[in-house]
Amino acid sequence: MTPADEARKLLERLGVTCGGSLESRSPIDGQVIGSVAEEGDVTSACARAQEAFLSWRLVPAPRRGELVRLLGEELRAAKEPLARLVTLECGKIVQEGLGEVQEMIDICDFAVGLSRQIYGLTIASERPNHRMIEQWHPLGPVGVITAFNFPVAVWAWNAALALVCGDPVVWKPSEKVPLCAEAVMALARRAMERFGDAPDGLLQCVQGGRDVGQALVEDERIALVSATGSTAMGRKVGPKVAERFGRVLLELGGNNATIVTPSADLDLAERAILFSAAGTAGQRCTTLRRLIVHESIADAFVERLKSLFARIKVGDPRDADTLVGPLIDASAFEAMRNVIGETIEQVDAVPGGYYVRPAIVEADVQQGTMLKETFAPILYVLRYSDLDEAIALNNAVSQGLSSSIFTNDLRESERFLSASGSDCGIANVNIGPSGAEIGGAFGGEKETGGGRESGSDSWRAYMRRQTNTINYGSDLPLAQGVEFKVAP
């Protein structure tokens, strides 16, 4: 079955009606698989979101969590067709598509629990008969801008938390994957219908190109802009939002490294490296791009990896034995070829698609191309002699998203996780840098943007903090013992 034929059937199952000027092309064969209307009226969407906020913020948080629970139910029921649509539209293999939808379900579960755990603090006051507390209130409408490589999960990370925190959401998806967004919105509408009294404008999607994203970023009614994409995009979004004193949550580029030490379990390491470097055809922000191997084991270990990479099945992502699907489009292919030249190895898989074999590139020093993130399956290999050198190599890039070390030496692992170790937002031991659980906060430092999404206390980004002092006495003592009295 062609991707276009399969997409039509999936969209029908998901309750999506296609039609419009924004076309979606499957990276499997480059053919159009559907189209949607470009809904570029951001001003109207933001006005509706602001109106929805005025009522949604007053709904008790556990009741808001009920809507997210219903959304999770809809996602569970539609997991298989939505995952297949992800595969068709962004080229992920079926297992990764299923994993992405499961990630949506997991964040819904997390957010439902959170709806009863939005805790403040009781703070000891220095003044007698005074009490201080800290509480959290809904922030306002949230604008979510997502990239093609995670066409549904990143919206869910933001939307599930925003909803329980009391915030409406306006979503601008990548124009490369508009069908996935329409399918998710169809499921969200079903959940809101079952919920019964969700305000109009609570969850919206505005389709289109950069002009739509720019309008969302500049609208003063959007209290928080959560944007996922390149560092170049973040350099534009951050200042624009700052100009109007809005908040940003930026998830930008990654240039992630793994250190392999002499004590490492090499069987474990090679399996992790395989997925981290080749998964999603290297098109993840957490993709492993730099492998830092101790010089005493490097030659033999790299040969093992080359043999393993040579056996990877590259092809139609719908096939069960495929591990690496296509690059998203011609521009991604050209970016990879510009970096490694004619050594790029194309695979004759499906006509019209851009299929490449993951490349392992030996490097003596961190050359210029290695310091930049190329969204393609290129793994650079570096050698080191002592751990301090390896950590310095890990940190010697402008991005700071994810990192890992393979070692059975407790001192090495603790050194890597210490304040003078990895400078990334994510630092793992004996697993790769790619693939994160919902429970932990996701995000990175430096040019990765500093944002945190998903687990832990990431919910605080979607709320405003308020400190309250209550005087239940009859005197009015001032803080710091200040005396302020009018003479009789």
**In this structure, what token pair is assigned to residue 311?**
């056996």
251 is catalytic: yes
Coil, strand or helix at 217: helix
Count how many Cα atoms sit within 13 Å of the Cα of residue 475 in the half-sphere of its side chain. Answer: 10
- Candidate list 89, 182, 251, 373, residue with the active-site label: 251
Q: Which of 208, 171, 170 is nearest to 37 (CA)?
A: 208
Cβ-Cβ contacts under 8 Å for 53 (sequence gap 6 or more)? 138, 140, 141, 166, 167, 168
Residue type at 406 in one-letter notation: F
The alpha carbon of 301 is separated from its chain's Cα centroid by a whole number of angstroms, namely 31
Residues 324 and 243: their CA atoms lie apart, in Å, by 42
Contact 256, 434 (CB under 8 A): yes
Query: What are residue 423's DSSP bridge partners?
Result: none
**In this structure, what token pair is assigned to residue 195?**
């919920």
Residue type at 259 in one-letter notation: I
Residues 277 and 291: their CA atoms lie apart, in Å, by 9
Contact 142, 171 (CB under 8 A): no
Alpha helices, H only, 396-450: 410-417
Q: What is the dihedral of CA 229, 233, 239, 240, to 10 degrees?
A: -90
* Strand-pair category, 130-138 with 463-471: antiparallel
Coil, strand or helix at 2: coil
Q: What phi and psi values does residue 471 have, to the nearest 5 degrees?
A: -100, 115
Residues 94 and 315: their CA atoms lie apart, in Å, by 12
Q: What is the dihedral of CA 192, 195, 198, 204, to 10 degrees?
A: -20
Q: Which of 270, 301, 267 is nearest to 384 (CA)?
A: 301
**In this structure, what token pair is assigned to residue 379?**
């793994």
Residues 257 and 241: their CA atoms lie apart, in Å, by 31
Residues 137 and 50: their CA atoms lie apart, in Å, by 15
Gyration radius of the chain's alpha carbons: 24
Residues 433 and 429: their CA atoms lie apart, in Å, by 9
- The set of catalytic residues is 251
